[in-house]
Amino acid sequence: MLYFLQKKSKYLFILSLLMVLFSNAQDKKIKITGLILDQTNETVPFVTVGIVNKSIGTASTEDGEFSLLVSNNELQDTLYVSSLGFDTYKIKVDEFLAKKDKYIVLIDNVVNLTTLKLLTPKEYVVNAIKFLKKNTLSKTHVKEILYRRAASEDGKAKFWVENYILLKDRGPANWMGTIQVTEARKSADYRYWKRTQWRHSIASMHEVNPFTPSDSEHSRNLKKFTWKKTGNSSYEGEDVLILEGTNPDKKWEKLTLYIGIDSYKVYKIERGKTLYIYKKHKSGKVHLSYFKNEWSFPKHMVPRELIGTPAETLNYRMEAFVLNVVTDKKKTRIQEYGIDKDMGSLDLPYHPEFWKSLNMPPDTKFYLKNKEEIEGLYGVPLETQYELVNQ
């Protein structure tokens, strides 16, 4: 009897070990990288890349490069690439991995709106506001975000911060939800004015969006703007109007919106140096994919004793990639941390292994520019600064 039990225990141990090994093999991530071009071999920036009917996705960089992590379970799934002005491109994941040249060439989508009876530009904006909650991912979900900020003086980056954030959100039709910064790393701080903000910079991602119910001074009543059509495009088979709006009270303030003529979905927002790119969720609703912003401090905010120093030129540059969206209610519980602190002052341990395993986007122009400027100050590589500065 004892011999039988020993044999059974040995068998169960081997079986368990095989199951663990099989599970690890299934969970092993495969990195997909590629370059997106148009028919003239020009790169296409900020393109949506993802897996059909799954939340796995990313956006291409300004140079049209993309990087995506998948598991063995996704090899037979379909990779899709969609962008304003082009037909959606689809290919099986394993077929793309087998390609010698990892190029994706998008075909221009020819739009002809002459036979359609269009609403006035203002009516499209009004309908975009009216259907905002219906068209965007407005049920509670969690966005996994890579948020970056560079602080510069005299036109050069002096301080660099990256945060990995969980944002419990209900879309732009609602107030910004709970944030939890789970990982952080930063460079050495070479600024003359080591200013700290009373809250996280991600708040600006919500407040400068003209569709959010924000009380920020940057919020505008879009219905009061003067709107005109400046062009047309397409997105995943839907014709899209490009509308430019001007603030009647401040003629210099302009907004450019990309709105679907059938759904009234907003696919892109441009406001000065601010950019929002939206992508479709598997539900068909849209959610934020990429954000970029830049702003400077007005001189009246500079401490009197720092007038005449580089502090007067302090500037913030920001970009954010939404790496994943989680809609499973069981996985949307997060613990608030970081919203009421400057993102460069958060007290979090540094885990290099986390950053190495994260589904990072390819190096963007934004990243490379700031990295070069910070490393050029004293010749210290950014990775070395991470090791020395972060605890």
Domain ranges within the chain, ordered by starting residue: 28-105, 121-223+273-389
Beta bridge partners of 108: 86
- The answer, as to whether pTM is greater than 0.85, is yes
pLDDT for 218: 44
Quote the longest CA-to-CA distance of the chain.
91
- Greater confidence (253 vs 163) lies with 163
| Confidence tier at 18 by pLDDT (50, 70, 90) | very low
Non-local (6+) Cβ contacts of 40 within 8 A are none
By DSSP bridging, strand 315-326 and strand 226-235 are: unpaired
What are φ and ψ of residue 299, in 5° steps?
A: -60, -30
pLDDT for 22: 44
* 114: Cα separation from own chain's centroid: 35
Between 15-19, 45-49, 180-184, the lowest mean confidence (pLDDT) is in 15-19
- Give, for 197, the enclosing helix (H) or strand (E): none
Q: What is the pLDDT of residues 244-262, one digit of tens each?
A: 999 998 888 899 999 999 9
Q: What is the pLDDT of residues 295-309, one digit of tens each?
A: 888 888 899 999 999
Rounded CA Rg of the chain:
24
96-118 mean pLDDT:
81
pLDDT at position 74 over 90 = no
28-105 — its CATH code? 2.60.40.1120
266-270 mean pLDDT:
96
Q: What is the pLDDT of residues 181-230, one digit of tens each?
A: 999 999 999 999 999 999 999 999 998 999 988 744 444 588 899 999 99
pLDDT for 282: 86
Beta bridge partners of 170: none
Q: What is the pLDDT of residues 120-146, one digit of tens each?
A: 999 999 999 999 999 999 999 999 999
pLDDT for 59: 84
Dig out the tokens for 362 from the structure. 């390819």
pLDDT for 6: 52
DSSP reduced 3-state for 385 = helix
pLDDT for 359: 86
Centre a 10 Å sphere on the Cβ of residue 154 and count the other Cβ atoms it contains: 11
pLDDT for 118: 83
pLDDT at position 14 over 60 = no
The DSSP code sequence of 340-370 is TS-TTS------HHHHHHS-PPPPPHHHHHH
| Confidence tier at 114 by pLDDT (50, 70, 90) | low
Q: How far, in Å, CA of 289 to CA of 146, rounded? A: 11
Q: How far, in Å, CA of 391 to CA of 389, rounded? A: 7
- Provide the percentage of residues in the chain whose pLDDT is more than 90: 62
| Confidence tier at 112 by pLDDT (50, 70, 90) | low
* 88: Cα separation from own chain's centroid: 20
pLDDT for 213: 83
Place of tokens 């701080």: 189
pLDDT at position 16 over 80 = no
Dig out the tokens for 131 from the structure. 């259907």
pLDDT for 7: 53
350-370 mean pLDDT:
92
Average pLDDT, the chain: 88
Place of tokens 């996704």: 74
Q: How far, in Å, CA of 297 to CA of 142, rounded? A: 31
| Alpha-carbon distances, residue 42 vs 53, 65, 365 (angstroms) | 29, 12, 16
52-59 mean pLDDT:
79
pLDDT for 113: 65
What are φ and ψ of residue 359, in 5° steps?
A: -75, 70
14-38 mean pLDDT:
65
